[in-house]
Chain A
Amino acid sequence: MVKDTPKVEFAGLSVRYGAKKALENVSMHLDTKGILAIIGPSGSGKTTLLKVLNRTIEYTAGVRIEGSVLLDGQDVYKMQDIAGLRRRVGMVAPLPVGLPMSIYDNVAFAPRMEGIQNRTDLDEIVERCLTQAALWDEVKDRLKDLGTKLSGGQQQRLTIARALSHDPDVLCLDEFSIAIDPVTTMRIEDMLKEMRSRLSILLVTNLVQQARRLADRTAFLLNGELVEVGPTEEIFGRDPKDKRTFMYTHGMFG
């Protein structure tokens, strides 16, 4: 496959919380389309990697970052417009968060903060994002209800709709399925399969099989170190480059 400029590139990225190392010299890239899954046991730095990408890590006290993160070849940490950066990176947290406002306002929040006030434009965005997040049919008749009163699975899809509402180039999902039911998980997985052809998706997951089902490429992080990154079939095959990868994907880690 011919590669153009990668959508995201982590180059020699190291992150420390005080004296504790979270990431050590991680280098890898995301293509402009397709799904990159990051697998690894908890505490391996997966979430840190996402927070570095949209710079929410800066709200953590005592954090030190070395190396660089490029979005479309631009250094993320030299950008002036942090809000603009975050609009280009959609972020879905592990626990669903419906904001304490109506379903409609949840999805219209980001566009409004950007200055879009036109009702027809907002209506269009809300319908499109809720449809993409496979939630539209369930909520189209009660858009004025509180987003926080939806079920967990619905709230997670609402969160995804919100993350799509600012039209991001990269969609990051951080263990999106840990708090929701298997049926919703499957619906979201189907949605991701459908979106992979036009969006760069960074999928952090605890579920090795989820990465195997969805990802074009998979990265294995262990204690802040990038053990291996490559095509999913290679990582999950009989013969990955690193023995630890084989052990982890085959559940022999101890």
Chain B
Amino acid sequence: MSTFEITRHGRNKERVQSIATALLLGVTCLLILPLASVIGLLIVRGAPALSFEFLFTQPINGMTAGGIMPAIVGTMWLVGTSLLMAAPVGVLAAVYLNEYAKDNWFSRIINLAIVNLAGVPSIVYALFGVGAFVLFMGFGTSILSASLTLAIMTQPVIIASTKQALSAVPMSFREACWNVGATRWQTIRHVVLPNSIAGILTGIILEVSRAAGETAPIMFTGAAFFLPFLPQSVHDQCMALSMHLFTISTQVPNVPPAYPYATAVVLVGLVLMVNTTSILLRIRLRRRRKW
């Protein structure tokens, strides 16, 4: 028997190895199945209603005909406004927590609070939004109230993803900067942020797509059942895709069966577009990685 011949034990190892690979691959493929069927179903069922007109006109006849343009515009308003409020605060807080905060009881409590806030169900944020923004602060049901609610909901996730992007910058870079007399802020400004900005943006964009799909937080705070006009300012109410989908699926009689599916296709399409941007950004980040 030559030295390089495979032993019985070696053959067994090889066999177990192929079984494990096949099993893991199989489970992964199972994951793709539901996603593919959801998208496939939506497109097939929604296709009859999908048209240029569907995207760019108002709903008419008690939402049983026409398009969904106000809902698309409304979703953009809500997501855009909430992003403007959540992103700067979240990023700055994350910079503080990751770069400045000492590991003491105070920072530990804040970190714990953030983790817990990320796990609060969105309907709870909705109730909070009604109490705090609609009633107490008197913003009424408006884009402002709804966006604030969304902003508070997305905040913890933005903080978490930003912190992750910041900690991906090796500690040795910071130490090297401090050693040559750069202040903490100079170090953050010239080394940490430029090398984590793509990761930070990726996190924010992913959060946008989540906010776009939320229904509960905007339902009582700013999204309208039906509005014949487009919002002019953050004090107006607006329609929203997720809310519209809920409405025409369950609340309105005589909606053509393709309409909810077509609306869902648009919503999912928007989310996919946003996520694709984020993936492209991440690819760019990986290519431009400087170490």
A residues with a Cβ closer than 8 A to B are: 54, 56, 59, 61, 83-87, 90-91, 93, 95, 97-101, 109-110, 113-114, 146, 148, 159, 162-163, 165-166
For residue B8, CB closer than 8 A to chain A, the reply is no
For residue B37, CB closer than 8 A to chain A, the reply is no
A109, B190: Cβ atoms closer than 8 Å: yes
Chain B residues in 8 Å Cβ range of A97: 172-173, 175-176
For residue B250, CB closer than 8 A to chain A, the reply is no
Whole-angstrom CA separation of A86 from B176 in the bound complex? 11
Q: Which of A98, A109, A110 has the most CB of B within 10 A?
A: A109
Which residues of chain B from 174 to 200 have a CB within 8 Å of any chain A CB? Answer: 175-183, 186, 190-191, 195
* CB closest residue in chain A, given B289: A100
For residue B102, CB closer than 8 A to chain A, the reply is yes
For residue B103, CB closer than 8 A to chain A, the reply is yes
For residue B106, CB closer than 8 A to chain A, the reply is no
Interface readout for B148-192 with A: 1 if CB under 8 Å, 0 if not? Answer: 000000000000000000000000110111111111001000110
B172, A100: Cβ atoms closer than 8 Å: no
Chain A residues in 8 Å Cβ range of B291: 98, 100, 146, 148
For residue B13, CB closer than 8 A to chain A, the reply is no
Whole-angstrom CA separation of A171 from B195 in the bound complex? 29
- What are 19 A-B pairs with beta-carbon distances under 8 A? A56-B179, A87-B181, A90-B179, A93-B172, A97-B172, A97-B173, A97-B175, A99-B177, A101-B290, A109-B177, A109-B190, A110-B180, A110-B182, A113-B182, A113-B183, A113-B190, A148-B291, A166-B180, A166-B181
* CB closest residue in chain A, given B169: A100
B175, A162: Cβ atoms closer than 8 Å: no
The 3 closest A-B pairs by CB, nearest first: A100-B290, A110-B180, A87-B181
B176, A162: Cβ atoms closer than 8 Å: yes
Contact of B176 among A84, A93, A113 (CB under 8 A): A93
B residues with a Cβ closer than 8 A to A are: 102-103, 172-173, 175-183, 186, 190-191, 195, 290-291
Contact of A159 among B176, B177, B178 (CB under 8 A): B176
B175, A56: Cβ atoms closer than 8 Å: yes
A99, B176: Cβ atoms closer than 8 Å: yes
Whole-angstrom CA separation of A254 from B195 in the bound complex? 46
Q: Which of B180, B191, B291 has the most CB of A within 10 A?
A: B180
Q: Do A83 and B290 contact each other (CB < 8 Å), given the known contacts A97-B173, A100-B173, A162-B176?
A: no
Whole-angstrom CA separation of A59 from B103 in the bound complex? 11
Chain B residues in 8 Å Cβ range of A86: 178-181
B290, A148: Cβ atoms closer than 8 Å: yes
Q: Do A163 and B181 contact each other (CB < 8 Å), given the known contacts A99-B191, A148-B290?
A: no
Starting from the known contacts A86-B178, A100-B191, A100-B290, 6 additional A-B residue pairs (CB-CB under 8 Å) come to A61-B102, A97-B173, A97-B175, A99-B173, A109-B190, A163-B179
Chain A residues in 8 Å Cβ range of B179: 54, 56, 86, 90-91, 93, 163
B173, A110: Cβ atoms closer than 8 Å: no
Whole-angstrom CA separation of A100 from B291 in the bound complex? 6
B181, A114: Cβ atoms closer than 8 Å: yes
Whole-angstrom CA separation of A165 from B191 in the bound complex? 18
Whole-angstrom CA separation of A53 from B102 in the bound complex? 21
Chain B residues in 8 Å Cβ range of A159: 176
* CB closest residue in chain A, given B290: A100
Whole-angstrom CA separation of A61 from B105 in the bound complex? 13
CB proximity of B216 to chain A, nearest CB, Å: 41
Chain A residues in 8 Å Cβ range of B290: 100-101, 146, 148
Chain A residues in 8 Å Cβ range of B186: 113
CB proximity of A43 to chain B, nearest CB, Å: 20
* CB closest residue in chain A, given B195: A100
CB proximity of B127 to chain A, nearest CB, Å: 39
